[in-house]
Amino acid sequence: MSEPPSLSPRTLAAQALGLIDERTRAIVPPIHLATTFQRDPDNLYRSGNSYGRPDNETVREAEALIGALEGASTTLIFGSGMSAAIALFLSLGPGAHVVAPKGMYWALRAWLANEAPAFGLSVDFVDAEDLQTLVGALRPGATKLVWLETPSNPLWGVSDIEGAARAAHAAGAVLAVDSTCATPIFTRPIALGADVVMHSATKYLNGHSDVLAGGLCFARDDGLCARARTIRQSHGMILHPFEAFLLIRGLRTLDLRVRAAAANAMELANRLSNHASVSTVLYPALPHHPGHDIARRQMKGGFGGMLSIRVRRGPEAAIAAAARVRLWKRATSLGGVESLIEHRASIEGQNSPCPPDLLRLSAGVEEVEDLWCDIDQALRG
């Protein structure tokens, strides 16, 4: 579904592509819950619908909207971010070599390290924020996919998407980017050379902490996309239509929510940089951040709503500070309208690269003064 290029992402999202239900003229299309569909008299399915596991009209509407925001040729929606990512890796087939970052979403990193070898995949974890290190890890002819996550969770490192795309393509590989935290409001990886964009749509795309969903946005409807579609169908990974409806509803305010969260994160990052109880603030907008220059180049209009702080007195002080918040919620996940705080090392356990004195903050859309007063008193004890 192509849209006029003159429309901004805010407009595309707010109007959900302007879809109107043709039968009722409703400006909010109905939820299509049916799991099976009647054949035509000659035994064909001219409606394009046959069964609920491979496809669904409400899911297609969500896919069209996310694809328009990312500038994708084809978008596939899954039941979670993990299922979307795993479907892509399984699409590579046995014997494929993958390059992935050391700093990335912990659950997916654990799957790549512990489960992917059983499917014939070999994975090298590298410092993907150093382009030369990334290039050195490529095996021309064997490397099938380079995976980036930028900004990376929970240290918020920034990788050079354009540089990684050139390197991956020169080695005969495709580049996939987890752009969950940047969102298409601030970064469009396909425009920077990426072949696939992955979203944990549970986070910012839905934005209300009430839907599990994931998405793969493909620059081309090619063989890799076709295999991912087949895996989604055969493994039953498609998103339920009601969740797809909620996802569309959340996407209508994506631009407003993401910009509000980013403005709060920026203000908090500046204040926390001068807090006596904080040794380091990790946020790409700050000039001292090692990825700041790349972030300025590829993140347009903002740096996202995620930041982390390292508490000066160590892990026990970090955990104690999280215990004292009243407004921030001690909860995992990110990207909702409510602000969340989490001691990540406790979640990730042994072998985590996350410093034990680190608290991850997902800035919501509340009044920033309220958020500041709460985190300030929690840190001061």
pLDDT digits over 15-62, tens only? 999 999 999 999 999 999 999 999 999 999 998 889 999 999 999 999
Chain mean position to CA 297: 19
Number of CB atoms found within 10 A of residue 292's CB = 16
What are 56-107's pLDDT values in tens digits? 999 999 999 999 999 999 999 999 999 999 999 999 999 999 999 999 999 9
Distance CA 27, CA 32 (A): 15
For 81-131, the three-class secondary structure string (H helix, E strand, C coil) is: HHHHHHHHHHHCCCCCEEEEECCCCHHHHHHHHHCHHHHCCEEEEECCCCH
d(CA 378, CA 255): 30
102 noted as active-site residue: no
Asked if 179 and 189 count as a contact pair (C-beta separation under 8 A), the reply is yes
pLDDT tens, residue by residue, 267-319:
999 999 999 999 999 999 999 999 999 999 999 999 999 999 999 999 999 99
Check 105, 232, 257, 283 and give the catalytic one. Answer: 105
Per-residue pLDDT at 5 exceeds 80: no
Query: To 10 degrees, what angle do helices 57-70 and 241-251 make?
Result: 30
Q: Of 204, 157, 197, 156, give the one whose Cα is nearest residue 177.
A: 197
- Has 53 been annotated as catalytic? yes
Condensed to tens digits (0 to 9), the pLDDT of residues 231-281 reads 999 999 999 999 999 999 999 999 999 999 999 999 999 999 999 999 999
45 is catalytic: no
Residue 286 half-sphere exposure toward CB, CA atoms < 13 A: 22
- Find residue 197's DSSP bridge partners: 177, 217
Task: Find the catalytic residue in 109, 203, 229, 259.
Answer: 203
Q: Distance of CA 367 to CAs 276, 325, 327, 372, Å?
A: 23, 16, 11, 9
Question: Residue written as tokens 């959340």?
Answer: 250
Whether 139 is catalytic? no
Of the pLDDT bands very low, low, confident and very high (cuts 50, 70, 90), residue 6 is confident
| Catalytic option among 10, 53, 102, 329 | 53
For the cut 90, the answer to whether the pLDDT of residue 4 exceeds it is no
**Which one is catalytic: 160, 178, 255, 374?**
178
